[in-house]
């Protein structure tokens, strides 16, 4: 593949080689399905920046910095919501670059204005982007929301209010379960997926450090 000075162009070349529908439509597959479109585009941008600066590509280092967020529901912009694959790509790329929640809010307003109300999978994509920012702020390396529980993995030195976290564990030990030093499992078997996200956000609000 020929490298360019534009992350979007690099992604576009990959689209040409593999097919836009394969990467951007409902039938995501291969490596994209494993790592997620936002992270895929983040890697592309990092690669382009390194090439522009004359550095050697070291994607292994990028993997180490990655915050892994797993949903058991589709989190994407469906092709029947945004028909043009390159327009979908541009929104994935913009979401991947968001550094603040306000940046995500701007994209949501724009999507609704241009294409109408967000379908469920697009709502989950937005929540995925929001949780990525929150995880980075709190020192969380992995979030997994599945049918029965929510799993959280922290760094060795998370930026959280540990007293608030242990209060949850002591108050409801059947629901909040420590797994080793850095992992927390939250049992949520009866909630819908959307309610699980809301429950997780409530917990993250409770354990975040107070603003000075």
170: domain CATH number is 3.90.1150.50
Is the separation of the CB atoms in 145 and 111 below 8 Å?
no
Tell me the pLDDT of the chain averaged across its residues.
Answer: 79
Cα separation, 149 vs 135, in Å, equals 17
d(CA 78, CA 125): 10
Does 36 reside within a domain? no
Residues 88-98 have pLDDT tens digits of: 888 988 888 89
Q: What is the pTM of this model?
A: 0.75
Q: Residue 189's domain spans which residues?
A: 139-212
How many folded domains does the chain comprise? 1
Residue 74 maps to a domain: no
Nearest to 120 by CA among 180, 37, 193: 193
pLDDT at 12 > cutoff 80: no
pLDDT in tens, 48-96: 666 666 666 554 444 445 688 888 888 888 889 999 888 888 898 888 8
Residue 119 belongs to a domain: no
* 120 token code pair: 């469920």
Q: How many helices (H) and strands (E) does the chain have?
A: 10, 5
Q: Would you say residue 57 lies in a domain?
A: no
In a domain, 99, yes or no: no
Give a yes or no: residue 163 inside a domain.
yes
Residue 97: its H or E element: helix 85-97
**Does some domain include residue 120?**
no
Note whether residue 116 is domain-resident. Answer: no
């Amino acid at each position: 593949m020929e490298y360019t000075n534009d992350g979007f162009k690099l992604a576009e070349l990959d689209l040409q080689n593999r097919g836009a529908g394969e990467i951007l439509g409902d039938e995501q597959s291969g490596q994209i399905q494993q790592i997620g479109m936002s992270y895929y585009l983040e890697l592309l941008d990092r690669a382009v920046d390194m090439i522009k600066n004359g550095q050697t590509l070291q994607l292994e280092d990028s993997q180490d910095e990655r915050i892994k967020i797993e949903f058991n529901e589709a989190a994407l912009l469906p092709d029947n919501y945004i028909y043009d694959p390159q327009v979908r790509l541009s929104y994935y790329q913009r979401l991947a670059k968001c550094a603040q929640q306000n940046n995500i809010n701007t994209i949501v307003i724009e999507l609704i204005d241009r294409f109408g109300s967000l379908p469920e999978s697009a709502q989950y994509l937005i929540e995925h982007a929001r949780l990525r920012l929150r995880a980075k702020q709190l020192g969380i390396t992995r979030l997994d929301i599945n049918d029965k529980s929510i799993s959280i993995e922290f760094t060795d030195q998370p930026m959280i209010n540990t007293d608030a976290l242990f209060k949850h564990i002591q108050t409801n030990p059947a629901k909040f379960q420590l797994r080793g030093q850095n992992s927390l499992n939250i049992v949520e078997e009866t909630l819908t997926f959307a309610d699980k996200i809301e429950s997780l956000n409530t917990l993250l609000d409770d354990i975040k450090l107070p603003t000075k």
